[in-house]
Amino acid sequence: MARLIEKTRKLVRNSVAGVSLAALLAGSAMSQQAINSIEVLVNDEPISSFDINQRLRLVIAVAGGVSSEQEFLKVREQVIRSMVDEKLQIQEAATVEMKIEDAQLEEFFRRRAQGLNQTPEQLEQALRGIGSSKKTMLDQMEAEIAWSQLVQGRLGSFVNVSDEEVEAYIQRIYDNRGKFEYRLAEIVLLVDNPEQEASVRANAEELVDRIKKGASFPDLAQQLSASSTAAVGGDLGWITAEDMDPAYATAINEMPVGDVSAPIRTAGGYVILAQRDRRRILTADPLDTQLTLRQVHLTTEKMQDEAAASKFRSVVEGLHNQETSCADVPRYAEESGADGRNEIGNLRLRDLQPEIRGVVENAEVGKASEVITMDDGMRVLFVCSRTEPTVQEPNFDDIYSQMEQQRLSMMGRRYLRDLRRKAIIDYR
């Protein structure tokens, strides 16, 4: 997402199986309708081809492009399905006169931009650069916020988690000490009737393939998942094998950390799982070691200048053999002509990319690493502090909240499924 402009420039510049993105969006292979015709009526409220194309450009950029017209049509089908769900969510919110204020939407847009290390203006420019718009993202945010508030307001009082259940859950944690628990994320694609089975399955398989090729799981979850977890990139939190669906547990046992599952058939449709992390319960894990990191970084753009790259190497290549300290990082950066930021901040080992983790996990505090070349440039890393991990005891309030949210999420899925079944949806 942070590189939306460049991704889309490449996408528009290159052909997609011999057909440009613009041609796919406008050509007869995609649609016979005019550019702003009505393509779907949801309880007599329209979704236009213009709205679909705006969202489609965003999703295709997030997914990293399409390789054929067939793939394009699958993505488009899923986009339309998601937009129908959002229309139903907004309509249902309107029945209780719920309105999301513009100021609230602007604040969420600002936070989204901040999460991408951008200003709101930069994110808006990025969206325009891919042929989408700020309005497209705000419309999606409005549905997310309205649905979250509606589900909480209408169903929250029906969620009952007893103290005994929480205590039993905590006891299971202690009973499982030393066993693995998993940090999972999900993308949920619903099947409303048997006729959709093959289509939704194909869409799910296509998403798995895209994720394995580098597309962002959280971004795709946010754009396409029918679960309330879509708002947080599909994040399910930490779950033990005993507390998950048996089909989930089977899939998790067969995949490494960082991988995604094949589509899993559930009662409501298909689920794609990502295993983000794994740790042993109530056991200090070396990967939870906290490191404060600084760097001397020459960006890829500046590396294109041979003189700048040569100057950078001449200053930093021998630092790992010298006595260094984190206090000297600004001076090294100035002398080498580095143009990247110096501060990385405080991170756990498990949160670092594998190539960086391997460099810093056993590094001495204050000692410079050797020069590392990555996609975003060359860098020398410094570990400025190290805090060894401690065992985190289960917290009653945190467990209660987690169980409550899991049940509310399940009720929200049923609520949306019922709305979809009762709706009159006319595909033109």
Predicted TM-score (pTM) of this structure: 0.67
Given 119, 154, 189, the domain boundary residue is 154
CB under 8 Å to 276, separation ≥6 — which residues? 183, 184, 185, 235, 257, 258
Rg (alpha carbons) of the chain, rounded to whole number: 24
113 in the same domain as 11: yes
Residue pointed to by tokens 């709205």: 51
Q: Is 304 inside a domain boundary? A: yes
128 in the same domain as 8: yes
Determine the residue type at 370. Answer: E
List the CATH number of the domain containing 176.
3.10.50.40
**Cα 152 to Cα 200: distance, rounded to the nearest angstrom:** 28
379 in the same domain as 290: yes
Q: Which residues face 185 on adjacent strands?
A: 235, 274
List the CATH number of the domain containing 42.
1.10.4030.10
Given 256, 284, 312, the domain boundary residue is 284
Q: Does residue 47 contact residue 87 with C-beta atoms inside 8 Å? A: yes
HSE-CB at 272 with a 13 A cutoff on CA atoms is 28
Q: Is 269 inside a domain boundary? A: yes
195 in the same domain as 122: no
**Cα 362 to Cα 339: distance, rounded to the nearest angstrom:** 27
Given 251, 267, 284, the domain boundary residue is 284
Tell me phi and psi for residue 160, to 5 degrees: -125, 115
Q: Is 323 inside a domain boundary? A: yes
170 in the same domain as 42: no
Cα-based distances in Å from 40 to 56, 70, 225, 383: 15, 21, 20, 55
Q: Is 351 inside a domain boundary? A: yes
Q: Are strands 264-265 and 377-387 parallel, antiparallel or unpaired?
A: unpaired
CA-based nearest residue to 385, from 366, 406, 357:
366
DSSP class of residue 411 equals H
- What tens-digit pLDDT sequence spans the chain (428 residues)? 444 444 444 443 333 333 455 555 555 344 444 567 899 999 999 999 999 999 998 888 877 777 778 878 888 888 999 999 999 999 999 999 998 999 999 999 998 888 777 889 998 998 888 888 999 999 999 999 999 999 999 999 999 999 999 999 999 889 989 988 999 999 999 888 888 899 899 989 989 998 988 888 998 998 889 887 887 889 988 888 888 888 888 898 888 888 999 999 998 899 999 998 888 899 988 888 999 999 999 999 999 999 999 999 999 999 999 999 999 999 999 999 999 899 999 999 988 888 888 899 999 999 999 999 998 899 999 999 999 988 888 999 999 998 898 899 889 888 998 999 999 999 88
Q: Is 420 inside a domain boundary? A: no
351 in the same domain as 261: no
Q: Is 415 inside a domain boundary? A: no
Residues in the chain: 428
CB under 8 Å to 397, separation ≥6 — which residues? none
Q: Determine the 3-state secondary structure of 163 from DSSP.
A: helix
CA-based nearest residue to 248, from 304, 203, 182:
182
136 in the same domain as 203: no
Q: Is 346 inside a domain boundary? A: yes
Residue 130 has a pLDDT of 84
Residue 30 tokens read as: 């995609």
168 in the same domain as 135: no
277 in the same domain as 294: no
107 in the same domain as 46: yes
Q: Determine the 3-state secondary structure of 381 from DSSP.
A: strand
143 in the same domain as 11: yes
Residue 5 has a pLDDT of 43
Tell me phi and psi for residue 312, to 5 degrees: -60, -50
Integer distance in angstroms from the first to the last C-alpha of the chain? Answer: 32
Residue 351 has a pLDDT of 84
Report the domain count for the chain: 3
HEC assignment per residue over 59-90 = HHHHHCCCCCHHHHHHHHHHHHHHHHHHHHHH
Domain span at 279 = 164-284
Q: Is 181 inside a domain boundary? A: yes
193 in the same domain as 101: no
Q: Does residue 190 contact residue 200 with C-beta atoms inside 8 Å? A: yes
Residue 67 has a pLDDT of 72
CA-based nearest residue to 296, from 323, 264, 331:
331
